[in-house]
Structure 1
Amino acid sequence: MAYIPPHKRHSKETERPLPTPELLAPQFKKKLNLRSSKSNADWDGKVIYANHARSRWCIIGLDDENQFPSSVNLEPISLETTERRTGEKPLALINASLDKEGSEVKWYLPKSPWVSLAENVLEDLLSSFENVKNDMKCPRLEEVKPSLVARVGKVLFQRSPSVNMESIRNNLDTEVLKQWKRLFYTNLPVSYKENILKEVVPNIGVDFEEEKDVYHVKLSDSTRPDSILSCKCSVMKEHGKLQLYKIELNQLRDMVIDISCPNKNLDLRVMLCTKRLVTALTDDEMQSIRDLISSAVLDPDVKGGLRWPLGKESSGDRYKVVGIWHVIANMYANPSLRLKVRHADRFDFRTSTGEATWEVSLMLKKVMSKLQEEKVEVSSISEILEENMRMIWDNFLCSEHFLI
């Protein structure tokens, strides 16, 4: 059999359902905040964090003594792209007592779940945005655009090979989980995506805004070793070539909070991010990047949809292609939020791995607008954030039967 290079090997999990065979913990009485190092937030590629970034995992659903219910355990999840890199299956919190139809277990709370979600986010959000505001005032930085993003998915853990899984199952310990690397896996099944478009879009009052078909070409820059240039490109249909229209430094994360929802099939990630537009490139630098982009060949048979002729994937010793994203996104908006439903086909040249995913995210525009006001009461930010969390809980985390 002829050798097929990794770039041309298509994964069979393009439409793999989200790895959540059961719901999570039925009780929702007490929260536990587990702070983790920034390196633990993602382990599938380069992610750039601000100097004062906050990364935290919250789990809601422990009992009065901060213990997991006996029905909750860690179980291995089959995920090809992760197993290829780490050699082991990632793990997910699974509640074995819940039925396969995805019906909720009754639980009792001193407050509503969306109030708890908002409280888990508010303090870190306010503190992190103060740092963002200081960055926005710094004249040495390129143009900074902050955004508050909520994404649905599933928190997965990568255990150490030295850990005895039998002992973990007998005594599930939050302190052990705190030390493990985690991944927020955002790939959703097609049935969930279709439900969002058919039922949720009209229910939350957002209107279709636009469809975007964009190629993101990720470049390393030898003069910016800690950053990645993200080149947004469109296709010139008359020539069948890529055309560069914007360059950004890789999205900077100022706050990442992962919230495990114990009686749901999905978890929630809330991120405060900033995009920095690259405005200080010389004509020669821009020309080198344009030449690199224009040499790409559109190829639907490879992951990411692009390939480069041999020797053309770099520009001298300065720029080098390290990744490709082909994103087709439908955008829906109202004055308070913007919903993005996208299909992303990715390939990472550094790890020789790729995956095609369906993803759903929300930009919380009204909260961000409030944060940027000169004088604003914390209570008003909290109220809007709580409204958003209730909308997310009712419409995006209550779709268990669409995850099968």
Structure 2
Amino acid sequence: MSKKLKYILFLVILTIGAACEKSHIDDYIPPAVVNLTKFGIENIQLYTFDSLYVDTIYATNAGKDIAGNTDISFAPDASYVDSLNLAAGATYALLPEQCYSLDVNNGTINSANRTLTFPVKLRPRLIDALDKKVSYVLPLKIVSKLPGQLGPNKRIVIQPVIGQAFINLSDTGVTEIVASTAGDSIKYALQVNISFVNSQDKSHFSISSGAPVLTMYNTARNTMLQALPEDAYKLSYDSVMPKGASAATLNFVINKSKMPKGVYSVALKLNSGSFGDGQIFPQYSSYKVIRIINNTDTARNARTGWAITDYDSYSGAGYEPVKIMDNDFNTYWQCAYNSSQVGRVTLPYTIVVDMGKLTNVNGFELWRRPGTYVTDLRGGYFEVSADNVNWKTATAFDCGTTNKSAGPFYFYCETTNARYIRIHLTSSNRSNIANIAEFFTVK
């Protein structure tokens, strides 16, 4: 038999075999019955800024051949709560009727209309008023008049959960920027964050900024931050929180050429957010301050007439607080480190310096002890006062953890007229040990 004849015979046999093979084209078509497209327990996160939340439930027949009509009703299934508790070992309670409504509860499915839509309207504020110790559920089911028209997925259990909705700044408190380390402009970005994904078409947040905000910040924290002139910076943002997002960006741009010499700050305050028909508020501190150090002066105020008027620790003779202004960089004040010495043996420590008269102060110069333990002193803050009664925080200081320099360390503040300086030492790189070799104020 020729090769060509063999090949023709093979094709004939193959064709006959294929014709005899059973078709499996219908094997993957679901039966023509009605099912819910979601079923089981559905946890729904709700927020009280919404007076109404709509959860849409679909009933559909995905079968190939739908014969006639299937009349469907959709209703709560109160009796299923007991079965659910028994199966899950839980103590669910039926969601009260006033907390939801079913505006559509029946319909007909046929070949021309395969899907029914059942909106379930939940009322978050009424749900939030329920007993917080109880877990509420709403079992719902579809029912047909004739047997065999429903598939296995005919019940859904809605479990509403009231979430805590907050709006916060991604970055709060004070951020210091040294102007000399930046280019022609200083740029700073932060975000407004919400604790959920925004589903609202119209939502926004409220921001306050400028000198009035800085005044509020100073009053609340007893600081003396000075406002940067408004023409020296720009704050830009879109107050609308985008739908589907959980963050929006704020941008500061500070023009160095318009910034006066000294230490100045820009501030903003996040007030609230409007979502749905309600408001949400910050969970944490809602202030952000950018403090720009635009000063490199090192000229010292004379220490003539200076005195130490108060202290709470020193380690004995030769280490008295007066050593911080004896003009000898090899001597130093050191805190007490055992009970046989004077005063406190644990952080924080305090030393009060009287400059003898009201003095213009723009900063502070610190020197640490020389030698092996030069890194002892870590950080703290300075306070200033004109009368030794009313104090304002001037600036924090931090000498770092790895810098092995004895000094000088410069820490600048807003221009102030003060007589008294209170040095608070709050952190150390060696347990509770702190020391200062010399201390000056900058003109």
TM-score normalized by the length of structure 1: 0.21
Larger Rg computed on CA atoms:
2
1 or 2 for the larger relative contact order (CA 8 Å, sep ≥6)?
A: 1
Which protein has the bigger strand share?
2
Which protein has the bigger helix share?
1
TM-score normalized by the length of structure 2: 0.19
